[in-house]
Amino acid sequence: MQYICKKNKMTNLIVGTVAFDAIETPYGKTDKIIGGAATYISLAASFFTDKLNLVSVVGGDFPESAIKMLENHNVDTKGLQIKEDEKTFFWSGKYHNNMNSRDTVETQLNVLETFDPIVPKEFSSSDFLMLGNLVPSVQQKVLDQMSQRPKLIVLDTMNFWMDNCLDDLLEALKNVDVLTINDEEAQQLSGENNLISAAKKIKTMGPKYLVIKKGEHGALLFGENKMFYSPAMPLENVFDPTGAGDSFAGGFIGYLSKSNNLTFENMKTAVIYGSVMASFCVEKFGTERLTEITQEDVKRRAEEFVSLSNFKL
């Protein structure tokens, strides 16, 4: 596996929530901390590329320092709307003892309720588009503003949107290349219990490739009638799984845009880099771990992944 440096010609547009989260796990509890799907995606992707364009929205309560933090990770925040008189999207969640499942305690849409995404002209020809977890109609509005079809469109979503606006989600899905989703969401979306059957059905909805994330049990990639499995890094201490799926997506698209190679073989490596970024994310609360690791750490963990599942017959 090659060491990844940041220089990259491909531009990436990242759309998703930039949020406040309050998290409770068996290891502790946080007050409002910085979170949001686009935040995790951008931070994870920044280890692979210096061309990150963000489209999102926050309220006047969102700290300037958090925007600076994103900018320090190569994120162009021109497309981040700041609604001075409104409040930032807020999500709170509580994890069960096994850390594999969680309950959403509260979702306050706030600025998201009226969010009308505006893709700055210079972002509209981005090569790679990551539609992070967000209102499906907003994801679609971003798609509609692209001046040319990106080389790759990846969409992430969650049960909240399947419950509340399934039709809009199905519409957006028709246009995407890769859907990333967790196992329970794949079952809900397809109505199939078996994940292979679920993948087959979801592929008829639009996506050519599907990544099913299985938390501490790794991730499955489906596409071109092939299947690939990446384990999750077994870790002694998992403090907070929040953002693991988004960090996965960031590592996945970051690596693909860096390598500019969309073959199934290369997507397998992207799934491994996604798993690498997710494994860091869960080691501390919120975005903390992603903001302290180095490229050397990423390289070392990717090598650990190779030795974790490398064997001879």
Could you list the residues that contact ligand AMP (CB under 6 A)?
17, 19, 21, 35-37, 91, 107, 133-134, 158, 160, 242-246
Q: Nearest distance from residue 247's CB to ligand AMP, in Å? A: 7
Q: Nearest distance from residue 98's CB to ligand AMP, in Å? A: 15
Sign of CA dihedral 173, 37, 255, 7: positive
Q: Which is nearer to ligand AMP, 30 or 107 (CB)?
A: 107
In degrees and rounded to multiples of 5, residue 153 shows phi and psi of: -120, 120
Q: Nearest distance from residue 151's CB to ligand AMP, in Å? A: 24
* Residue 116: how many other CB atoms lie within 10 Å: 8
Q: Nearest distance from residue 280's CB to ligand AMP, in Å? A: 13
Tokens at residue 55, please? 């489209």
Q: Which is nearer to ligand AMP, 207 or 274 (CB)?
A: 274
With H, G, I as helix, E, B as strand and everything else as coil, classify residue 283: coil
Q: Nearest distance from residue 115's CB to ligand AMP, in Å? A: 11
* Residue 217: how many other CB atoms lie within 10 Å: 12
Q: How far apart, in Å, are the Cα atoms of 293 and each of 73, 160, 183, 210, 259?
A: 12, 31, 28, 28, 22
Amino acid present at 123: F
Q: Which is nearer to ligand AMP, 35 or 150 (CB)?
A: 35
Q: Which is nearer to ligand AMP, 150 or 250 (CB)?
A: 250
Q: Which is nearer to ligand AMP, 75 or 158 (CB)?
A: 158
Sign of CA dihedral 246, 38, 224, 269: negative
